[in-house]
A and B are shown apart, each in its own frame.
Chain A
Amino acid sequence: MSTTKARKKKFRRGMAVYLPAYFATVFATHLYVQHHRPEGTALYVCAALPWLALCGGIAGIAKYLYEERDGYSRELAMRCLLWGAAGAMATNCFVMSLRQFGWRGQAPALLEICVFAAASLVARIAYSVSNRPERGSTDGVER
């Protein structure tokens, strides 16, 4: 196994642990706030918990980017992250505009992170498809 494969596997394993932990933190915080209605410092702590979980995820991504020695894989990861960030920012901008125009509704919880994940995944698939070896050869080698 090449080292870049090992790094990607390690990153995916880390994300497989992190993502359920993140969603559990957000869900638990929402549940706690709905039931106990904290105020003051407790409310700030509850609001900070999902943010701290998000920081954990960003730190994980940063660690992968730092350790990744394969320039193409790193560039690909950066591009996918940018697509994800663009999707999340566009969603946030849309929801903010709706509120400014008088909308009193509430965007679904975790909307931005879901859009981020979806946009990153679509970008990853699109780049993988566009970088497949040519037809008629499994990997481009003329045997």
Chain B
Amino acid sequence: MKNRLRELRAKKGWSQAELADRLEVSRQSVNAIETGKYDPSLPLAFRLARLFAMGIEEIFTDE
């Protein structure tokens, strides 16, 4: 699954650690999602969508 997390995070000027703190996950989780090594759970996808004020499908796209 592809995602725009890195791009969206960069727009906000957040580091991975800052984003991880906002999402209450580890920095490693954020990096794993950004690099496509890990697909987030549905609750985490919703938290991301709320944080960036976007729809889930605007952040994540099925390959």
Chain A residues near B35: list those with CB within 8 A.
131
- A143 to B20 Cα, complex, angstroms: 17
The verdict on A75 contacting chain B, using a C-beta distance below 8 Å, is: yes
Residue in contact with A72 in the complex, picked from B10, B21, B24, B26, CB distance below 8 Å: B26
Contact of A70 among B6, B9, B25 (CB under 8 A): B25
Segment with Cβ contacts to B, from A2-10, A11-19, A21-29, A90-98: A2-10
A143's partner among B13, B21, B34 (CB-CB below 8 A) is B13
Q: Is the CB of B31 within 8 A of A132?
A: yes
Given contacts A2-B25, A128-B28, 10 further A-B contacts (CB under 8 A): A2-B24, A70-B24, A71-B38, A73-B26, A76-B28, A131-B32, A139-B27, A140-B15, A140-B16, A141-B9
1/0 contact string of A101-134 vs chain B (CB within 8 Å) = 0000000000000000000000000001011110
Nearest Cβ in chain B — how far from A20, in angstroms? 27
Which one of B16, B25, B34, B38 lies within 8 Å of A4 (CB-CB)? Answer: B25
A69 touches B (CB below 8 Å): yes
CB of A138 closer than 8 Å to a CB of B: yes
Complex Cα gap A133–B6 (Å): 11
B21 and A2 contact, CB distance less than 8 A: yes
Contacts of A72 in B (CB 8 A): 25-26, 28-29, 32-33, 38, 40
